[in-house]
Amino acid sequence: MAGIISPSPTALSFTSNVGTRRLKAVTWAGKCISGNGIRRRNLRIAAEVRFVNAEEAKELIAVEGYSVVDVRDKTQFERAHIKSCHHIPLFIQNEDNDLGTIIKRTVHNNFSGLFFGLPFTKLNPEFVKSVRNEFSQDSKLLVVCQEGLRSAAAASRLEEAGYENIACVTSGLQSVKPGTFESVGSTELQNAGKAGLITIQGKISAVLGTVLVCAYLFITLFPDQAEKLFPPS
């Protein structure tokens, strides 16, 4: 006998006092009729990642009890970070010594490393495991990085791992005004991504550096989308 099931799941959305949250149905609802009888399927609603600005993020921490997870690399974290946050980097220092990695590291250190102070890194294979060691799946987590790309990628991985209360700061800590959060470090949060020669070459180099850094991170984190935007000739 042919099966009968309900329509495909749909996404719902609503706006709260803090940011916008979307809901998605991750399991079909209804029943399926087959030769073996009726099998019921339950509907489970899961919240997708919430994207907020700095002021909304501050409210999430103070009012809703969100914990801050900083996924930046060690160098940016040490320059400045939100007080009492948890540092769990999405990328870690790449110290592999195979020939391909050595060549890539040399090229990187003479470009991104020299001009923008970016360390040569690779995806942290223990990222989700490290988060699980510190937080249960029902924890409320505010994921932050410098530009907003790494936090979005990290939030996506955590969502896939079963975390349902995830928020990110749109555009990252570079968009945070001084004094918004109590911070620790030698500089302001919005300046923690500035290093290398761009710090002494003026505003034009700083803007160019930010654009190139964001482009580099976008291509690294979202290669499929990057290929669609910039198809090979």
Burial class for 136, CB neighbours closer than 10 Å (0-12, 13-18, 19+): exposed
Q: Known catalytic residues?
A: 145
Please, are residues 126 and 71 in contact by the beta-carbon 8 Å criterion?
A: no
Q: Among 160, 168, 152, which Cα is nearest to 60's?
A: 168
- Give the whole-angstrom CA distance, residue 190 versus residue 194: 9
The token pair at 104 is: 């890539």
The whole-angstrom distance between residue 164's C-alpha and the CA centroid of its chain comes to: 14
